[in-house]
Structure 1
């Protein structure tokens, strides 16, 4: 019996990683990057978990691209960045939740003085929901100490994806200390804020 030996081809992602100097954008442009993330490619994940890379991934999600940016910067890179976060790779999510400046950057999307396009709002919402499920305690600690988050979400309740995040944030069944969270939610006047936003003529009661 004869065995035909074939040389295994290196993946395009590995070829980028083999370069002496490569950029995050080169990786994001490779079609197999999400597949490699899900396969837990250690070289790729060790690169993506770096703070600088996590920051840039967040910027693709929360910052509106310039009008003259090409389609990759407007559509492909934000989509891939969101998909990387929602692969739920623990070390990447840990880099995010352990760094308050990065969390500030993520939630800066809610600031009233910036555009809130539906596309990026959807990506922002997916990342927050992912943190809700995989990094529940650090996320809730952040939200509890940053009181503007709820108010800003209520102000954007007309955006469906933001409304869905708000609904899930008050879904106490996902939290480890339900009583404490429910008390905190009650103290936050969230329901009153929602009523005031949806119908100012209706009393909070």
Structure 2
């Protein structure tokens, strides 16, 4: 009754961490209420997460494989939470990502040849890219247009279901995404992506014959 009458309430565990003089991103990611606080648009939390250094580290959890003997938090929990933070669709965090060439390069480094491309991280990568397609369509598509090798790399990974979903959306199966991107549609029409996909499947069939 006292708390209701005075209007006071206990601070959230996330705010308790933010109140500390020194805290780390990992401490926040390890807090069970962080996604709830993101969705509630906790201003202090979002102002911390929007910083380039934090966005970069969140991306690294999603695109970089770790040794098998790494802690479970690093291997599973932190990549999952990092993906969830991006897919909360907080505009200021997404803007930090799409407006920075280095961060976009880091995100799409996942599809480069020679990477492990684990199914788990591929799923997180795909969720983040699709989120950008929906919420930051123009800057995302402009980036892909300026880096055409991305399409080639996506085709190479078409055997991974989540990556295939990105490719399907990219080439326009979901036309609602491109309603305001006429230039992007024209560029996509001029690419050989459909031929690349056919060649990929043809070579796959030939290798199995």
> Structure 1-normalised TM-score?
0.93
Which one is further off, 31-40 or 178-187?
178-187
CA drift of 1:194 comes to: 0.2
Indicate the structure with greater helix content: 2
Which one is further off, 140-149 or 175-184?
175-184
Match of 2:147 in 1: 146
SS of residue matched to 1:199? helix
> What pairs up with 1:6-155 in 2 under 5 angstroms?
6=3, 7-155=8-156
C-alpha offsets along residues 50-79 of structure 1, whole Å, 9 cap, x if unaligned?
000000000000000122210000000000
C-alpha offsets along residues 127-177 of structure 1, whole Å, 9 cap, x if unaligned?
000000000000000000001110000000000000001001112431144
What CA RMSD, in Å, does the superposition of the two structures yield over aligned residues?
1.4
d(CA) in 2 for partners of 1:178, 1:24? 36
Which one is further off, 191-200 or 51-60?
191-200
d(CA) in 2 for partners of 1:127, 1:105? 12
d(CA) in 2 for partners of 1:75, 1:196? 35
Count of aligned residue pairs for this structure pair: 199
User: Which structure 2 segments of 5+ residues have no match?
Assistant: none
SS of residue matched to 1:31? coil
d(CA) in 2 for partners of 1:45, 1:182? 34
* Equivalent of 1:194 in 182, 193, 197: 197
User: Which structure 1 segments of 5+ residues have no match?
Assistant: none
SS of residue matched to 1:166? helix
CA drift of 1:183 comes to: 2.3
CA contact 2:122–2:163 (8 Å) conserved in 1: yes
Match of 2:165 in 1: 164
CA drift of 1:94 comes to: 0.2
CA drift of 1:5 comes to: 0.6
CA contact 2:142–2:184 (8 Å) conserved in 1: no
d(CA) in 2 for partners of 1:139, 1:95? 12
CA drift of 1:178 comes to: 5.1
d(CA) in 1 for partners of 2:200, 2:154? 11
CA drift of 1:123 comes to: 0.1
> Structure 2-normalised TM-score?
0.92
d(CA) in 2 for partners of 1:179, 1:79? 34
